Amino acid sequence: MSTETVSPRVEAAPARLWRLGDAAGSVVLFGAIGLFVIWSALTHPSQFVAGLVVGSVLALGALGLTLIYGVLKFAHFAHGDSMMLAAYLAFFVLSGNLVGTRGTDVRVPWSFADLPGATEPIWRFSFGYGLLLSMVVAAALAAVILILVDRWVYRPLRQRRAGLAIFAIVSLGVAIAMRSLVLMIWGPTPRFYVSGIRPTLQLPGGPRIPTDQLFIVAAAIVLAVAVYLLLYRTTTGRAMRAMADNPDLARVSGIDTEAVVRTTWLVSGGLIAVAGVLLALQSQLKPELGFILLLPVFAAAILGGIGSPHGALVGGLVVGVLQEVAVTVGPLSPGYKFSIAFVVLILVILVRPRGLFGA
């Protein structure tokens, strides 16, 4: 009885074709993004700068999302509403305002705004140090809330070996619960951290922008660098990357996986809170903010590559610029801005499913 042998060259053909297709997709995607960024900066400088600001906020949200997905292996659909809840917590700590039983605002006896000079503008910014303190407190509260949600909701599902669909549905339920809580406590009326006209600054050879936008971009870059150093320069970061790569092997190697999970929610909660506060500082605070953020944040994380912190930063900036610039070209109106993120999501999945820097 004879046996047929298959040539290694024939066996390797599909793999070579896959690699060639992936390389071609990489060239197309990187080239298209590079050309678009250069064209946007030269022809639409005002929208380009606004896109960098929005992209910085999306990058922070995508960083938290990619950490959660990398360690826990599920898409956290409550991510946007977690950012919105953290932004409202910062508003409460700063102003002390709640909606009373008659539908009008009531104020708790004390808030950070009562501190001496807390609302006096820093440099040319529109806010004082009270907002910075509120952002820190909101980050701590958001981290605690997410850790408790994981302990009471997600961890029992992990112990029961629940599927990804169950996690997705449950996280949507958590998102709806957060939004309902915000509506009950603060109502549907939009809120502002700072009222009045925002100071502006003329960029050298560029457009005039609100000074707060410089703070938003700088804060996003600093936090992105801090997350990179945490992941690649600390023992905790190595444990997080080990669990993201192989949870079972990490567990038998002596890594406390539950501690890694708590650290992941802690870091993600901080990033979520800062992103929510910065976005509300840029525009306004409203209960729909979380839903509006969800799709662009997912698009940024997938474009940069799930599991890649620097990819999340680049993906957020690209999606932000694309949203702001695309609606100024042709018949598109600003109402289509968030639809652009959905188009980006589909194209990236078709051309390069693992994103720009995904492994």
Digit-coded pLDDT (tens) for 329-341: 767 777 777 788 7
pTM (two decimals): 0.90
Is the pLDDT higher at 136 or at 44? 136
The CA-based diameter of the chain, rounded to the nearest angstrom, is 93
Beta-strand relationship, 200-202 and 105-107 = unpaired
- Whether residue 276 contacts residue 83, with contact meaning beta carbons closer than 8 Å, is answered with yes
Rounded to whole angstroms, how far apart are CA atoms 95 and 113? 6
pLDDT in tens, 194-252: 887 888 888 877 788 889 999 999 999 899 889 989 988 999 999 998 988 888 888 88
Is the pLDDT higher at 349 or at 12? 349
Triad 311, 295, 84: Cα angle to 5°: 100
A 10 A CB-CB count for 344 gives 22
240 alpha-carbon distance from chain centroid: 19
Is residue 54 exposed (0-12), middle (13-18) or buried (19+ Cβ within 10 Å)? buried
Report which of 260, 291, 288, 296 is spatially closest to residue 150, judged by C-alpha positions.
260
**Can you read off the two tokens belonging to residue 134?**
């509120």
Report which of 76, 50, 99 is spatially closest to residue 279, judged by C-alpha positions.
50
Amino acid, res. 206: G
What beta strand segments (E) does 13-170 contain?
A: 97-99, 105-107
Percentage of the chain beyond pLDDT 90 is 45
pLDDT in tens, 45-88: 888 998 999 999 999 999 999 999 988 888 899 999 999 999 99
Q: What domains appear along the chain, each with residue ranges and CATH number?
A: 45-351 (1.10.3470)
A 10 A CB-CB count for 219 gives 20
273 alpha-carbon distance from chain centroid: 10
